[in-house]
Amino acid sequence: MDWSDIRIFLAVVRGRSLGEAARTLGVSHPTVGRRIKALEDEAEQPLFRRTKDGLVLTDTGDAVLALAESMEESALSMERRLAGNHERLEGILRIAAADWFAAYVLAPIFIELGRLHPAVVPEVIASYRLLDLSRREADVAFRIVPFSEPDIVQRRLMTMPYGLYGSAATAQAVIDDPQSVRLILMNSAQAHFPDVTWLLDRFPHSKRSLTSTSRSVQAQMCLRGNGVAVLPRPLAEGVEGLRRIDLLGQPPSRDIWVGYHQDLRHMDRLRALLEITEQMLREPASPSDGQRNQHPRQT
């Protein structure tokens, strides 16, 4: 079977419709329908059946799914290794990071990368979602939790200090009437954030004014007097008008991890970014000194 057809088959499985698969792959709806029909003609059996919830696999489709995913992994591995063996310092480098980390920590690093290697173009994916590096959703990722996927080279890059921040008026309210202070919190529906626990412990009777997955949004709401928030110090110190409030002690810090797939360990533009990052953050280490995960894939 042709890999391009298998790729469309997997997109339909994941999107549960021809239209969603077409949008994901950037092709036309008729193209997807035509290629699925060609696969079904080759198999001489239907691969999907229509339900009220969308397209679902038939027994025949389910039987070939594992083989299709194995074929996909081989194709992705070839793509990663070809990218990793690129000898010239040029091209797109896909970087996943939280918006605040990209804006206030990585931005000076991108400037230096551009000065030294102008043909390398950083493509920043500013998202709190943990992207799949094995599928090359990103070449390298910076995040606050260690990587659990197999074959990822990772290392602890730095410890990020946090502080409690608010506007000048809010900082005074913490002294005068703590119970009147409202709280701006991380949305903890999908993950645990120690700073949320710390803040709730210190303001047990205060109401929440906002929850958000974006630290940058929280900083702007703090600046406008909407409450207090625990923020990474590089972000808060980059927003003029925010006051750090030290009366209640220091919030917990977080480790920042950097990771990339082992097949990309020879990609020169990736190594250049990591070397500059380590130099500017003053925790030098070789990109090849990371720890590789060997345990089974987690779902």
What does residue 161 show for φ and ψ, rounded to 5 degrees?
-80, 145
Confidence at residue 284, expressed as pLDDT on a 0 to 100 scale: 42
Paired with 257 in beta bridges are 143, 156
Radius of gyration of the chain (CA): 24
pLDDT, tens digit, 9 for 90 and up, residues 54-70: 888 888 888 888 888 88
270-279 CB contacts, 8 Å cutoff, 24+ apart: 270/93, 270/139, 270/140, 272/89, 272/113, 272/116, 272/117, 272/120, 273/93, 273/95, 273/109, 273/113, 273/120, 273/122, 273/140, 274/140, 276/109, 276/112, 276/113, 276/116, 277/106, 277/109, 277/157, 278/157
Confidence at residue 156, expressed as pLDDT on a 0 to 100 scale: 94
Q: What spatial distance separates the first Cα and last Cα of the chain, rounded to whole Å?
A: 28
Confidence at residue 217, expressed as pLDDT on a 0 to 100 scale: 95
Separation of alpha carbons 254 and 293, rounded Å: 21
Confidence at residue 226, expressed as pLDDT on a 0 to 100 scale: 96
Q: What is the pLDDT along the chain (299 residues), one digit of tens a residue?
A: 677 788 888 889 888 889 888 888 888 888 898 888 888 888 888 888 888 888 888 888 888 888 888 887 777 767 656 555 555 578 899 999 999 999 999 999 999 999 999 999 999 999 877 888 887 889 999 999 999 888 899 999 999 999 999 999 999 999 999 989 999 999 877 678 999 999 999 999 999 999 999 999 999 999 999 999 999 999 999 999 999 999 899 999 999 999 999 888 888 899 999 999 999 986 444 444 455 554 433 32
Confidence at residue 131, expressed as pLDDT on a 0 to 100 scale: 83
Burial 123-141 (b: 16+ CB within 10 A, else e): ebbbbbebeebbebebbbb
Confidence at residue 71, expressed as pLDDT on a 0 to 100 scale: 81
Q: What is the DSSP annotation of 21-90? A: HHHHHT--HHHHHHHHHHHHHHHTS-SEEEETTEEEE-HHHHHHHHHHHHHHHHHHHHHHHHHHT--SS-
